Every structure is written in structure tokens, then in C-alpha cells.
Copies of this chain bind each other. A is one copy, B any other.
Amino acid sequence: MTTLNQAVDRHLPASMGMDFPEQRKLASSTTLELRAGQGIYREGQRAAAIYQVQSGAVRVYRLMQNGHRHILSFYGPNEWFGLQDGLFHDDFAEAICASQLRSFSISGLPTLPVNLLGIALNSLAYANSRQLMIVRQSALERVAVFVKEMADRRPGISEFELMMSRADIADYLGLTVESVARSFTKLRTSGIIRLHGRGQRYVRIVNPEALAALSM
């Protein structure tokens, strides 16, 4: 963990760099209120709880030896995260925007209202799918997959706001910010989506069929 903190400093705004609350003994269920960018847990910390998003959004990532950040997953309302192999976290979790979480102490296991194995297997299937996508899809296809993934979380709503920056998306898809921007532009100019609002973060899906075809 010698190089870790340097890498962390590169990714966290200075004002938030050490903004990970010490994991303390939790009651079997606790509600957490988080500001944008606030840390939930970090690498090396003892894994003592699992979390469910109530509102807002969370990113979970790992840092590579070279300091590169790779986002493993984004989590939205009702989704679970934080379940860990071994005693200590090997990844980081942060709120992307103002969020509410519910945390469940693992030691309260018998009373947990969830099927841990189910969560784990679900995460595993998802991680495997992402492997396929990242390895063999083009930049444009990956961005299409991402947009579709975000859209599918809001069934029936054709326009929505992306909570995450282009940099987050890039680190999630294994691309650079520039490639992500170019792919968004390509989706826009080919009439598949429309973009507007602060930082072009509002997406309207104009041609869902074409989007689905790309993200296959």
C-alpha cells in the first residue's frame, strides 16, 4: 500500500482525499447520507458490511499498480454492493452524487434480509459479461452498451441524466475520455441519441433499435 495513497491522491479531489469514514461497529442496519464524491469504503479497510443503495448512485473501482483507475461497476437504487472475498476490501466505493445508503453489518448474518449467495452469483455473472464486452467490442459499441444499460434502469423513461462524468465512463469502459466523447458524438450525429444540459449529461434515446443493434 505504499504506492496506493499516491494513486488515490491522483483520483480524489484534495478536499476529499481522506474522506473515508473509519468503519466502525455498525448496528445490524444503518442508514447513511452521503455527499457527492464521498467515500464509503476503501481498499485495505476491513469488510464488515454490505450496502444497498436507497437513492443516488455509487461507483466501485480498483486501482492498478500503475495508478490507473478501473471502475468495476456503478450501482443505483435497490442494488447491493460491498460483498467481499476475504477480510479486507480490495476496492473503493464512493457516492457519485448525493446518495442514501443502507448498510447491513455482516456479523448480523442470520438476520440479514438478503441472499448473499444470490448477490455474489449475480455479481459474478455481471463481471463475466463485462469481460466479454470490454475485450471484444469497439469503443462505439461499448458506449452504446453503457447508454443502454443506463436507460434500462429507468424503464419507460426515454430521457435521463447521467450521474457520472465522461472520465468515470471512460474508466468503466476501458477507454479514454476522448474516445468516449467521440463515441457520444457519433451516436448523436447518427441520430441515435440526443444530448443536452450541463456537460451534455442529459441523454434522450431517439432510435432505440439502432442503439440495441450496436450494443449487441
B-binding residues in A (CB < 8 A): 62, 64-66, 68, 70, 72, 83-86, 90-91, 116-118, 120-125, 127-128, 130-132, 134-136, 174, 216
Determine how many copies of this chain the complex contains: 2
Taking a contact as CB atoms under 8 Å apart, the answer to whether B127 and A128 are in contact is yes
- With A124-B124, A127-B131, A131-B130 already in contact, the answer to whether A136 and B174 are too (CB < 8 A) is yes
Closest 5 pairs between A and B when the two form their complex, measured CB to CB: A135-B174, A85-B121, A120-B120, A127-B127, A85-B125
On chain B, the residues within 8 Å of A72 by CB distance are: 128, 131
* Cβ A70 vs Cβ B131 within 8 A: yes
Give CA–CA (A124, B121) in the complex, Å.
Answer: 8
Tell me, rounded to whole Å, the shortest Cβ–Cβ distance linking A211 to chain B: 15
User: Once the chains are docked, how many angstroms separate the CA of A107 from the CA of B10?
Assistant: 49
A17 to chain B, nearest CB (A): 22
Contacts of A83 in B (CB 8 A): 121
Name the contact of A120 in the complex, choosing from B65, B70, B117, B174 (C-beta under 8 A): B117
Q: Which of B68, B120, B135 contacts A124 (CB 8 A)?
A: B120
Contact partner, A85, options B68, B122, B131, B135, Cβ 8 Å: B122
Smallest Cβ distance from A136 to chain B, in angstroms? 6
Q: What would be 13 A-B contacts, judged by CB atoms less than 8 Å apart? A: A62-B132, A66-B136, A68-B136, A85-B118, A85-B122, A85-B124, A86-B125, A120-B121, A123-B124, A124-B124, A124-B127, A127-B128, A134-B135
How far is the CB of A133 from the nearest CB of chain B, in Å? Answer: 9
Residue in B64, B124, B127, B132 whose CB lies within 8 Å of A136: B64
Interchain CB contact (< 8 A) of A84 among B62, B121, B131: B121
For A123, the closest partner residue in chain B by CB is B124
- Contact, CB under 8 Å: A128 / B216: no
Q: Chain B contacts of A130 at CB under 8 A? A: 131
> Separation in Å of the A196 CB from the closest CB of chain B?
30
B125 contacts A90, C-beta separation under 8 Å: yes
CB distance from A153 to the nearest CB of B (A): 19
- How far in angstroms is the closest Cβ of chain B from A10? 15
